[in-house]
Amino acid sequence: MSDPLIQVTGLTMGWDDVILQKDATFHVDRGEVFAILGGSGCGKSTMLRNLIGLDPPMGGEISIAGVGHPNLAAGRPPFGVMFQGGALFGSLTVGENVGLQLEEWTKLPHEAIGAVVRAKLKLVGLDGAENKLPSEISGGMKKRAAIARAMALEPDLLFLDEPSAGLDPVSAVELDELILTLNRVLGLTVVLVSHELPSILKIAKRCIMLDKETASIIAEGDPRELRDGSPNPRVHEFFNRLPRAS
């Protein structure tokens, strides 16, 4: 039986007179890896910003853990977010980036925070990178560090914006493995925005596909099943990397 952690109902998003999606309704079950897919400009990142409360939707309702639309100004958010480029603070070391929320939201002593930070970094394969500055590590390492930072407060829910974009194939596969491990071992619910097909097919249990032209969700389900048997030509083109029929 499904146990929705996120419930989105009638979401309309865009800006001014630009409507990216109309009346989008879907849910994300607790403990699943859920992907938001679609071509460029269909509103994937805007949907993510709506979900995490950075931008208000034009209409509709978003509820996370039954609490309603997240209010970031209210304090400690119930989720972690990894931004596309990592968004690590350049003036802080990797360790300080990961420990920032621990200092803010917990009463742990400095030594304990250090221990948690080192453990989180080890978990994401960044053992020993604690004292490096973000400028001294690679793109893949930045993303791993950003995941460690997003997980610092042990959230149940992780939002990932294009986790494997811009990474070499090996780093991308390693990151996929990491996400799967976190999902399987820690029971994390992961919502990711991506258009990296190999990654989606490997890690996502369910997905929705957004379409720019119809401004709607044109497919929902297991990405592997959508690839193999979707009757929708746009979904077929997307999953089979075919040029759009003119």
Q: Footprint of another protein on this chain (CB under 8 A)?
A: 49, 52-54, 72-73, 75-77, 79-81, 83-85, 87-90, 100-101, 104-105, 149, 246
Is the Cβ of residue 1 or residue 73 nearer to another protein in the bound state?
Answer: 73
Q: What region, left, alpha or beta, does residue 109 occupy, with left being phi > 0 and alpha being psi -120 to 50 degrees?
A: beta
Extract the tokens encoding 25.
């309704």
Q: Is 232 helix (H, G, I), strand (E, B) or coil?
A: coil
Residue 91 CB, nearest distance to another protein (Å)? 9
Residue type, 218: I
The total of other beta-carbon atoms located within 10 Å of residue 215's CB is 19
Contact 161, 146 (CB under 8 A): no
Residue 16 CB, nearest distance to another protein (Å)? 11
Residue 136 CB, nearest distance to another protein (Å)? 16
Extract the tokens encoding 112.
């304990």
Is the Cβ of residue 49 or residue 234 nearer to another protein in the bound state?
Answer: 49
Is the Cβ of residue 28 or residue 218 nearer to another protein in the bound state?
Answer: 28
Is the Cβ of residue 103 or residue 220 nearer to another protein in the bound state?
Answer: 103
Q: How far apart are CA 29 and CA 33, in angstroms?
A: 9
Residue 141 CB, nearest distance to another protein (Å)? 16
Is the Cβ of residue 169 or residue 243 nearer to another protein in the bound state?
Answer: 243
Residue 104 CB, nearest distance to another protein (Å)? 6
Q: Is 106 helix (H, G, I), strand (E, B) or coil?
A: coil
